[in-house]
Every structure is written in structure tokens, then in C-alpha cells.
């Protein structure tokens, strides 16, 4: 039996794919709403400093409010079905960054641990990113959860745990809500919250206040050794 279950976010945790997301949002908003917006900037052109701490549905609702669009006229399911199709096309060729050291880090952890994905991104988009990054073979995608698969990350962690019943469950993420999700999860295992600040979108203090047990500043051998002792 595998002792440890490691649950990973993708965006801003393993890779940075802002450009691809921005283009998918631009295409979809124009198609569905008749107005263009992107993920990383507000409609007035200023940088959105908190987008990384929000889910895709939360980003959509924020932009709708900023653009003074009646939310009752926007079907989120239809929007994200179109977003999924647009992102699937953009992600095939769009540029993204794999954080230095991630491949070796993930490969080493996958040797004797169960790795799964938990993300608010769409399945087609995220699995294509994983494949292009050379990471998909290390994750059990059959147990991974994506946009539309869960109501909250806490619930998602509980669902994944029920399929595995490991003695340790660790959640790797870049946002405070990722840390609080594992802290709040009702599971019969040791819970470990691991914050990742490689993307520099959250601070170590923010993640620690949300419950992080360990902070990853870079994916190097020293960090891997520390993580292997914890999980």
C-alpha cells in the first residue's frame, strides 16, 4: 500500500501558463459576451494582483462585475465549455514556463508515492500542459479532479482520499486557499500543507498564515530531500 498521497495544483505551482490562459479568456469573452477580457489584467488595463488566488469561475464573475454585465445573462457552463475548446486549441502551441527542476522533482516523488492533480482549470487544458511538460506519466489522471468535478477543494481532497486511504496526504499549491483546503479536510490521515512560491504570486507569510507546513522556494535537491522526509 502506498503510504503517501500527494495532491498537486498545476498553474503557478508546477508551471506558469498565463499567456495561454489570457488568450483563451480573450477569445471566449469576445465570443460569448461580445467584450474582451483576460485573466492577468483588469478591463482598465491595470494588473490584477490577486488572479492567482482565484478559481476560474471566480475570475469570470469578477470580470463580469467589472464590465457591468448582468450576471443573470451569463451561463457559466456555456462560457467554460467554449473556454475549454478555445484553450485546447491555444494550449497545443502556446508558450508556457516549466519551473526549473520540476521534472526531476516530480519524477523522484512518484517513485513510491501516489501523485494526483487537483485544479480549477479545465481537464483538456491541464492534461495537455502536463503532457507537453513531460509530467503526465507521473500522475494518476483517473483520480485527478478538474473544473466542474467538485464544489470546493476541501471536498475534492476528501473525495481523492476516500479512493486511496493513505496515512499521509499532502497538498501542494501556490495560494492560501490551497493551504486552508487541506487543513479543513475531514480525512483520517496526517495532513501536510506545502506552499509553493516559485511564481512569486503569494508570499511565504501568506501561505504560512493559511496553514502551510513547508514552503518551496525552488525545486532543487535540497528541497526534494526535505519534502521526502515529510511525506
CATH number of the domain that residue 113 is part of: 3.40.50.1000
Q: Which of these three, 74, 91, 108, is where a domain ends?
A: 91
163 and 121 in a common domain: yes
Spatial CB neighbours of 108, under 8 Å, sequence gap ≥ 6:
224, 228
179 and 121 in a common domain: yes
Mean pLDDT of 50-64: 91
Does residue 141 register a pLDDT over 60?
A: yes
114 and 220 in a common domain: yes
Residue 3: its pLDDT value, please?
A: 86
208 and 220 in a common domain: yes
Does residue 88 register a pLDDT over 90?
A: no
Mean pLDDT of 29-36: 96
Please answer whether residues 202 and 176 qualify as being in contact, where contact means their C-beta atoms are separated by less than 8 angstroms: yes
Residue 199: its pLDDT value, please?
A: 93
Query: What's the number of CA atoms in the CB half-sphere (13 Å) around residue 66?
Result: 18
87 and 107 in a common domain: no
Mean pLDDT of 112-135: 93
Q: Which of these three, 51, 67, 91, is where a domain ends?
A: 91
For 140: left if phi > 0, alpha if psi spans -120 to 50, otherwise beta; the answer is beta
133 and 34 in a common domain: no
Please answer whether residues 28 and 86 qualify as being in contact, where contact means their C-beta atoms are separated by less than 8 angstroms: yes
Residue 1: its pLDDT value, please?
A: 56
The predicted model scores a pTM of 0.86
Does residue 57 register a pLDDT over 70?
A: yes
Q: Which of these three, 34, 68, 91, is where a domain ends?
A: 91
Q: How many domains does the chain have?
A: 2
- CA-based nearest residue to 120, from 78, 82, 163, 151: 151
226 and 208 in a common domain: yes
* Domain interval for residue 42: 18-91
Amino acid at each position: 500500500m502506498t503510504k503517501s498521497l500527494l495532491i498537486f495544483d498545476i498553474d503557478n505551482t508546477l508551471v506558469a501558463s498565463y499567456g495561454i490562459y489570457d488568450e483563451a479568456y480573450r477569445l471566449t469573452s469576445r465570443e460569448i459576451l461580445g467584450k474582451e477580457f483576460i485573466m492577468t489584467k483588469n478591463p482598465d488595463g491595470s494588473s490584477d494582483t490577486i488572479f492567482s488566488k482565484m478559481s476560474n469561475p471566480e475570475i469570470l464573475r469578477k470580470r463580469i462585475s467589472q464590465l457591468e454585465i448582468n450576471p443573470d445573462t451569463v451561463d457559466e457552463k456555456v462560457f467554460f465549455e467554449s473556454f475549454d475548446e478555445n484553450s485546447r486549441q491555444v494550449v497545443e502551441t502556446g508558450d508556457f514556463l516549466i519551473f526549473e527542476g520540476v521534472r526531476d522533482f516530480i519524477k523522484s516523488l512518484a517513485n513510491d508515492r501516489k501523485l494526483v492533480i487537483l485544479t480549477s482549470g479545465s481537464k483538456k487544458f491541464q492534461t495537455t500542459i502536463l503532457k507537453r511538460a513531460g509530467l503526465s506519466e507521473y500522475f494518476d489522471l483517473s483520480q485527478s479532479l478538474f473544473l466542474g468535478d467538485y464544489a470546493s477543494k476541501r471536498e475534492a481532497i476528501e473525495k481523492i482520499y476516500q479512493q486511496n486511504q493513505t496515512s499521509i496526504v499532502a497538498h501542494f499549491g501556490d495560494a492560501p486557499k490551497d493551504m486552508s483546503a487541506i487543513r479543513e479536510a475531514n480525512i483520517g490521515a496526517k495532513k501536510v500543507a506545502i506552499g509553493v512560491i516559485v511564481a512569486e504570486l503569494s508570499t511565504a507569510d501568506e501561505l504560512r498564515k493559511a496553514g502551510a507546513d513547508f514552503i518551496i522556494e525552488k525545486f532543487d535537491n535540497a528541497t526534494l530531500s526535505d519534502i521526502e522526509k515529510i511525506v
